[in-house]
Amino acid sequence: MKKWMGILAAVALLAGCVAPPTGGGDGVAGSQVDSESRQRARAFTDLAAAYFSRAQYKVALDELRKAITADNQFGPAYNIYGLIYMELAEDKLAEENFRRAIALDRNDSESRNNFGWFLCERGRYDEGLAQFSTAIHNPLYARPEQAMSNAGLCAEKKGDLALAEANLIKSLKLQPDSANTILKMAGLYFRQNRLSETQRYLGRHAELAPPTAESLWLGVRLERKLGDRAQEAAYGLQLRKRFPDSNEARQLLSGQYE
């Protein structure tokens, strides 16, 4: 989950995105005066989002049941349901709940963003890209750069590297200091063997954020291609020390550079 961006726009914690759950998407529903039942539903959903961010899924589900009991038309609750079931690999339930959130508010771009990533993770790239596109073109969406970045990653998974680059560039124009998106751009350029651009973006990431297993592993492979064995070893040492249990460290130790 934490390798993609946007979930935390809904749950107040995730790679690059920090914002509280919104009250009813980006459309008219969110602007209506809340009833007492809607306020209770929102409070329970906020609690569920907080528990979800700590991987306390059972407690989060309990809070969502209370939210739906209070107001079964509160779309953001179904969005969080979708995220939880996505993490639990309950794909049918995840999709049902994302679709329910969107049906309740067609302008709920947060739900579309999350549903889009769910679809991309399941190899349904065109469907996912369609959800991102709808979210991006909603003029009321406060965080279109998140959907643009996710659309870039989805396009890369699909193998459309030109579309991936275009979406990541658009995202960076709106949020130029997004360390996560910058790292994804570096990874995309590395995949295209554009090594000088990879090096520039990786350096920019280092200026903005502490190293991650992903950034250090990219550094190892970049310097290996550039032929700088000393810098390659330095990246590798940091990776082994900082993230010894990561998949990237295991790839390093097994020599799986490609």
Q: What is the per-residue DSSP string for 173-240?
A: HH-TT-HHHHHHHHHHHHHTT-HHHHHHHHHHHHHHS---HHHHHHHHHHHHHHT-HHHHHHHHHHHH
Distance CA 113, CA 134 (A): 9
Q: What's the domain range around 14?
A: 1-135
23's torsion region: left (phi>0), alpha (psi -120 to 50) or beta?
Answer: alpha
Distance CA 132, CA 150 (A): 8
Residue predicted with more confidence, 220 or 29: 220
Distance CA 6, CA 180 (A): 11
Is 154 among the domain residues? no
Distance CA 25, CA 76 (A): 7
Q: Please give the structure tokens belonging to residue 135.
A: 């979210």
Is 196 among the domain residues? no
Q: What is the pLDDT of residue 15?
A: 31
Is 19 among the domain residues? yes
- Let me know the angle formed at the C-alpha of 241 by 237 and 246, rounded to the nearest 5 degrees: 105
When mean pLDDT is compared across 33-37, 56-60, 83-87, 135-139, the lowest value belongs to: 33-37
When mean pLDDT is compared across 4-8, 43-47, 88-92, the lowest value belongs to: 4-8
Is 97 among the domain residues? yes
Whether 2 has a pLDDT exceeding 50, the answer reads no
State the sign of the Cα–Cα–Cα–Cα dihedral 53, 59, 63, 65: positive
Mean pLDDT of the chain: 89
Confidence bin at 5 (pLDDT 50/70/90): very low
Is 23 among the domain residues? yes
Confidence bin at 17 (pLDDT 50/70/90): very low
Is 30 among the domain residues? yes
Is 57 among the domain residues? yes
C-beta neighbour count of 182 within 10 angstroms = 27
Q: DSSP state, 22?
A: P
Confidence bin at 103 (pLDDT 50/70/90): very high
User: What CATH number corresponds to the domain at position 126?
Assistant: 1.25.40.10
Q: How many domains does the chain have?
A: 1
Is 49 among the domain residues? yes
Distance CA 42, CA 22 (A): 9
Amino acid at 110: E
Whether 173 has a pLDDT exceeding 60, the answer reads yes
Task: Give the count of alpha carbons within 13 A of 160, CB side only.
Answer: 14
Whether 28 has a pLDDT exceeding 80, the answer reads no
Quick check: 5 and 19 in contact, CB under 8 A? no
pLDDT tens profile 226-250: 999 999 999 999 999 999 999 999 9
Alpha helices, H only, 88-178: 91-104, 109-121, 125-136, 144-158, 161-174
Distance CA 202, CA 186 (A): 6
Amino acid at 191: R
3-state DSSP assignment of residue 24? strand
